[in-house]
A and B are shown apart, each in its own frame.
Chain A
Amino acid sequence: MTRTVLFAIAILAGLAILALAPAFLGEYGLGFMVSLMSYVTLATAWAMFSGPTRYISLATVAFFGIGAYTVAVFNETLPYPFVLIVAISIGALLATFVGFATLRLAGVYFVIFSFGLAELVRQLITWFEVNITGTLGRYIFLPFETRHIYWQLLALAAVTIGIGFWIRQTRLGLALKVIGDDELVAAHSGIALARTKVLLFVLSASLMTLAGAIQSPRWVYIEPAIVFNPTISFLTVIMALLGGATRLWGPALGVIPLMILFEWLSASFPDHFSIFLGAMFILIVFLLPKGVLSAVETRLARLKREANA
């Protein structure tokens, strides 16, 4: 009990410090934190569904992009909170549809389907804009400073991790784990596969949509090709896998080293970024097969053992 209380206090303190970050971080540091929080949200939300079910989804950017695009469309006509509500509704609606449609798909079929989905959404939006509205390329002029966006993303990341924590405590979390292990057993144990999977998918997608919506004012100009950049999906997967997709804090812990690595590489080797990045990736796969979190845990366990000895 006291441990839980202590833990809760630690979390709150951590949040408070993070919330004060704009006071002592410069514009650059804050920009870095914005990306960090955005990816923490995306990776955690991704792992919420994909971690336990092992459905590797590349649709992240479909939802992220929808969030951003919705803001681009409505930012001049609707008050900001309503824009967010519209965004989340569209994201959730699409996720529900996709969730039900893909229930029969597993493994790599789902992977590529989800990739195709992101591309399809992008193509359809493009077509719609070209043929119906005649505007391709929209502007977002919202009066947000970096710190405003940072605070929103921090809150979203906290909420996302909170939801992840909550799911773990509930039967929903258990159900997902079973589904990931063996769907047939899950069904015969009384787990409603479709409802569980779709619920989680929608939840995860809604969070991603929000992340895109909140971050978009940073880019001013929005075009489908910009916001539906598949790199975002790939990075999300990689960060989550790197950290450990089945753990609550895994994805977040995958984001941090990668973000730092990117930052360092793009500054130190602007011309050879790709090569170093690729090499790092391969090294990571070989050296940290089970993700950062479990590597850290093993290391800690060993230290503890040595201390005890």
Chain B
Amino acid sequence: MTEVAGAKELSKEELLDAYRTMRTIRDFEERLHEEFATGEIPGFVHLYAGEEAIAAGFMAHLDEDDYIASTHRGHGHAIAKGCDPKAMMFEIYGKQDGLCHGKGGSMHIADLDKGMLGANGIVGGGPPLVCGVGLSARTRGTNQVAVSFTGDGGANQGTVFESLNLASAWDLPCIFVIENNGYAEATAQAFSSKGIDIAKRADGFSMPGVVVDGHDFFAVYEAAGEAIRRAREGGGPSMIECKVNRYFGHFEGDAQTYRAANEVEEVRKEKDCLMLFRRRVTSAGLVKESELDQIDEEVKNYIDECVREAKAAPEPTPEHLVTDVYASY
């Protein structure tokens, strides 16, 4: 790859959008990390910080009526797909005006109007769903595509393999993204799938499989673009593995003693996606430092506002306990 390969296709506005997406995710997650420590955030929270380039790189190619299916680590995908971060923050705080009216929480953030089929509490839950979206697009003759995200640990779940094969047999416009951050909870990919390139499994399903650096927005953008174009043109499914790191624990509260000392610090220093992006676009003269700084500032204020309002927002009222499901008795 040349210095800013992939960037050629992108207008300045698109570059700024991508940066804003990544920055929004980063601030959203870092702020949740802080807030979680205060004890005010209920339940399990899995943070996406460090992996932003993947969500931003894929979603830059998707339209609102394209669909994604996410994982337990879903905030980044949701934000990049266009879910309202404020409504998401409300949701994570369990409030009535949350994106799912407080019924879903962090692990079930969804917005079907934005093509976001949901974070998912079940590892491997998403890939079958995108096969369905692919089938729907094919049957109705639209050129929508569907993208599922799965972790390196999730890649060993039977549902994922079945979906790869079904998408292949049915020639569906589906892209299966593997976010390989090296760990499933405390268990290393070196053990759980012997450290292989997971994308090489694509071969067993007659589809292209590529490995990209998940810290590098432009690498992701390029690989995603190729796969999504192919899918839209009827060329069938693909698998893309993004090698990446997560900055925080598996979930908030994880002491992470299974990781090497300084593991994260080093990645943050060498490979941070925001830093890499910034360096690339400014040194190529595509964007000015000050423009990015301004985004940083705006995002910071916005996330502040999200948290402030979320904390103050009202809880769901009791009658909602039994709405949105028919009551058999």
Genuine A/B complex: no
User: A-side interface residues toward B, CB under 8 Å?
Assistant: none
User: B-side interface residues toward A, CB under 8 Å?
Assistant: none
